[in-house]
Amino acid sequence: MRTIAMIGTGYVGLVNGTCLAHIGHSVQCCDTNADKIEWLQQGRIPIYEPGLEAMVAENVAAGRLSFTSDMASAIEQSDLLFIAVGTPMAPTGAADLGYIQSVAEFIGRHLTAYKTIVIKSTVPVGTGRMVDSWIRANMQNPQIPFDVVSNPEFLREGSAVADFMKMERCIVGAIRPEAAQLVADCFEPLNTKTYFTTPESAEMIKYAANAFLATKISFINAIANLCERYGADVEDVAEGIGSDSRIGSAFLRAGIGYGGSCFPKDTHALNWMADQAGYNFGLLKEVIQTNEEQKYVLLKKLVQALGDLRGTTIAVLGLSFKPNTDDLRDAPSLALIPALIAAGASVRVYDPVAMSEARKWFGSDVNYGIGVYQTIAGCDACLILTEWREFITLDLEQVRQLLKRPIVVDGRNCYSLASMSGHGIEYHSIGRTAVSAEQTVLSRL
């Protein structure tokens, strides 16, 4: 087993560092944010990720996992240095490599013996060679050998721990086979399939995977919009095409678009790379545009149902971009809620875990509910933006009674049309026929 320094304690670094410790490695997670390190040393987890808190506690107690802000010491004590810092989107759409460069230069200044440097962050094609040059430019002794290896991650927020422990594949991009094997061996206890490539191919695999999944999402959302115009049901369509083994059913769930820390940033970065290479990636541009427009579909449905939104009170259920996370980055709620406010509505919000994060984004612009039913009480309509289980299992009779006007606009198709019948609720969803309150009442007669 190896000694590892995981540089960066965000979603990627904290989950990977903890899981690597869990399979037997000695891992120091390090970060320049001293407050975050102090939190982690106290057993407080700065992100919401199912199963992570218990796994951190277990591996800290076992002595395999620790947290430090002394990055120089962690580098000196470790065999492998994993870089897991953020690559946020720059105004141009490119990935901002400022944090990557800063870490690479720091490693160069503190390199005293051979190390394998593993890039876990999502980075543009060619970054591995740039990291190599940044390290070399800062070395006091240029004779010290090192390797830079690309090892992209494919963990989904909300199921990241499970995804790591049941890893589908491991991508290792390196120049020297010995360095590639050293990294692959770190994941050997997982019995996963490893693919060895060049660094450039490994970097492209990450972007290509995310862009392809984003394409499936935008495609089914475009089909959903067409289904509404022709009276078809997008869920029937998705099931029909998803049963084709060449297509597959994953990521064919219609809704209000993708969000989070990966897909928006990575699709823009890949589009930027294409532009830089002189290639017009028209398909990807349409994927991005479709996703941006899809965020506002619910607003149009709400206006159709209520008319003028001035003076109305709208309940918004779900703020995170997906269930089982408190991450609001590029969540549809960040676009829809300001649009509702601009239209003159008062907005009351609730999310099972993301309320603290929501206050950072929305401040005093919205009212914060306490539980689902208190949030919707007296509202003119209810919007569902995230398919939390708590929302999927609502007591619909109680919903009808509490709403001032029994209108539910569902951006995640949480309910079947049949299940809405008999409750007296006007129900609008994505890619399906609307159900009127009169229809649901008549179904009980």
Q: Give me the active site residues, please.
A: 262
260 and 331 Cβ atoms separated by less than 8 Å: yes
- Fill in the amino acid letter for 316: V
106 is in an annotated binding site: no
Alpha-helical (H) ranges within 111-198 are 127-137, 160-165, 177-186
59 and 25 Cβ atoms separated by less than 8 Å: no
Q: What angle do CA 261, 317, 428 make, to 5 degrees?
A: 105
252 is in an annotated binding site: yes
List the one residue out of 264, 305, 331 whose CA is nearest residue 93. 264
Residue 49 to residue 75: CA distance in whole angstroms: 27
Question: Backbone dihedral region of 257: left (phi > 0), alpha (psi from -120 to 50 degrees) or beta?
Answer: left
Q: How far is CA 13 from CA 6, 34, 45, 120, 387, in A?
A: 6, 15, 13, 8, 27
176 is in an annotated binding site: no
Helix, strand, coil content of the chain in percent (nearest 5): 45, 15, 40
155 is in an annotated binding site: yes
192 is in an annotated binding site: no
List the one residue out of 430, 434, 435 whose CA is nearest residue 253. 430
Helix axis angle, 282-294 relative to 199-230, nearest 10°?
A: 50
E strands, 281-328, where? Answer: 313-317
Residue 201 to residue 132: CA distance in whole angstroms: 17
253 is in an annotated binding site: yes
Grouping H, G, I as helix, E, B as strand and the rest as coil, residue 267 is: helix
Contacts for 245-252: CB closer than 8 Å, 24+ residues apart: 250/213, 250/216, 251/213, 251/216, 251/217, 251/220, 252/216, 252/220
- Fill in the amino acid letter for 324: N
Residue 70 to residue 76: CA distance in whole angstroms: 10
285 is in an annotated binding site: no
Calculated CA dihedral for residues 272, 277, 282, 287, nearest 10 degrees? -30
Q: How far apart are the first and last CA of the chain?
A: 69
Host H or E run for residue 40: helix 34-41
Contacts for 420-428: CB closer than 8 Å, 24+ residues apart: 420/396, 423/396, 423/397, 423/399, 424/400, 425/396, 425/399, 425/400, 426/305, 428/301, 428/302, 428/304, 428/305
229 is in an annotated binding site: no
CB atoms within 10 A of CB 262: 25
Positions at the binding site: 31, 36, 87, 122, 154-157, 206, 251-255, 259, 265, 322, 329
Positions at the binding site for NAD(+): 31, 36, 87, 122, 157, 265, 329
Positions at the binding site for substrate: 154-157, 206, 251-255, 259, 322
